[in-house]
Structure 1
Amino acid sequence: MKPYSVTFIHALDYLLRAEGGYVNDPADRGGETKYGISKRAYPHLNIAALTEEQATDIYYRDYWLKAKCDQLPPGISLMVFDGIVQHGSTTAIQQLQRAPGVTDDGIIGQRTLISANTTMVSVRFICQRILTQRSRTYARIVANNPSQAKFISGWFNRLDSLMLAVEEVVG
């Protein structure tokens, strides 16, 4: 196993518990997934045969590093990481940017990093604001496609457990 940071390992542990194993629910817009890695995002992969080690490498390379989670404070990095898995990179980054009021262009640049790392705004405040953004995203999903309403309880349960995982690192 690569020498991943403690912050990444904590985020990954949370995510793997939240995502679970192999799922192929025809009603789920995510389609076939394992550990949260979808066939839609990785059409060349045999999702059913995906190992936890392969999923870890994918999450680190294609999610954690690309979104610069390694440059965000613990807690906020977990929120963004989980948001990317649930909503995609652009939406998750926009949710982060809206929290402190940075222009929500969906790109992690210097302003976003400075805003997320400033001592003037607490990590808890940013995380609570991201949770609000995610709640609104779920509401929009259901409004646009009522068949997705069957997942709403699970999504909100996920947000509850996400905030508990944030508290583990924020204290």
Structure 2
Amino acid sequence: MTIQTLIDDVIDREGGYVDHPADRGGPTCWGISVAVARANGYHGAMRDLPRAIAAAIYERVYWRGAGFDKIAERAPALAAELFDTGVNMGTATAARFLQRALNALNRNGRDYADIAADQRIGTATLAALDAFLATRGPAGERVLIKAVDALQGERYLALAERRPADEAFLYGWLAARVA
């Protein structure tokens, strides 16, 4: 799966302009919040955000900027999951989910040392992923995806418990984002 396919899938799932009163992120278009659009140089009306600009933001910020392109070289399905998680929860959260899962799956450091859950995909995270995949093989990628999904699902539930207005989104989050 290419990054363009992943971006098209996210944009199709997110849809066009939305300004839901319970969404603390404010107006979004193609899944891009007003804050992210402004931070990336778009200053027009959110309802007029061109799809091409949204796609460019997704690739620059949520794919390459997050380091998920480097994950894709090793584990493409995992990279796709991290990309989608990063779009919805932030790339730092997605990276932390991966780091936590890698630490919990290293068999108490026998397979590779624990890494800092620093929310960045850097050399230590990539080395741990390489060691994990070398030890666990192709099935390991599927297990990491399940671990990321589990952490994501738990976070959605916690969000809805802490802020009842988020219950408006919980069903959709779980249905569309947790495999």
Letter in 2 for 1:152: L
1:14 Cα deviation after fit: 2.0
Offset of residue 91 of structure 1: 1.1
State the Cα deviation string for residues 62-88 of structure 1 (Å, max 9, x = none): 111111111112111111111111111
Structure 1 residue corresponding to 2:142, chosen from 119, 124, 134: 124
Q: Within 2, Cα distance between the matches of 1:143 and 1:86?
A: 18
Larger RCO of the pair (alpha carbons < 8 Å, separation 6+)? 1
Query: In 2 relative to 1, CA 119–15 (structure 1 residues): closer, same or farther, beyond 3 Å?
Result: farther
Report the TM-score when normalising by structure 1.
0.83
Aligned counterparts, 1:134-153, within 5 A? 134-153=152-171
Cα RMSD of the aligned pairs, angstroms, is 1.6
Structure 2's unaligned 5+ residue stretches are 104-114
1:44-103 Cα distance to aligned partner (Å, 9 max, x none): 532211111111111111111111111112111111111111111221110111122143
Tell which structure's C-alpha radius of gyration is larger.
Answer: 2
Structure 1 residue 109 and structure 2 residue 128: aligned? no
- Who is 2:54 aligned against? 55
Maintained 8 Å contact 1:32/1:40? no
Name the structure 2 match of 1:42.
37
The equivalent residue for 2:20 is 25
Deviates more, 1:9-18 or 1:58-67: 9-18
> How far apart are 1:29 and its partner, in Å?
2.2
Partners of 2:171 and 2:69 lie apart in 1 by 30
The separation in 2 between residues aligned to 1:45 and 1:115, in whole angstroms, is: 40
1:159 maps onto 2:177 in alignment: yes
Q: Is the 8 A contact 1:7 1:74 kept in 2?
A: no
Matched pairs, number: 156
Bigger shift: residues 33-42 or 122-131: 33-42
Quote the sequence identity (%): 31
Give me the whole-angstrom Cα distance separating, in 2, the residues matched to 1:67 and 1:13: 18
Q: TM-score by structure 2 length? A: 0.80
- Alignment gaps of 5+ in structure 1: 1-5, 164-171
Cα distance in 1 for partners of 2:135, 2:29 equals: 39
Q: Distance between the aligned counterparts of 2:97 and 2:6, measured in 1?
A: 18
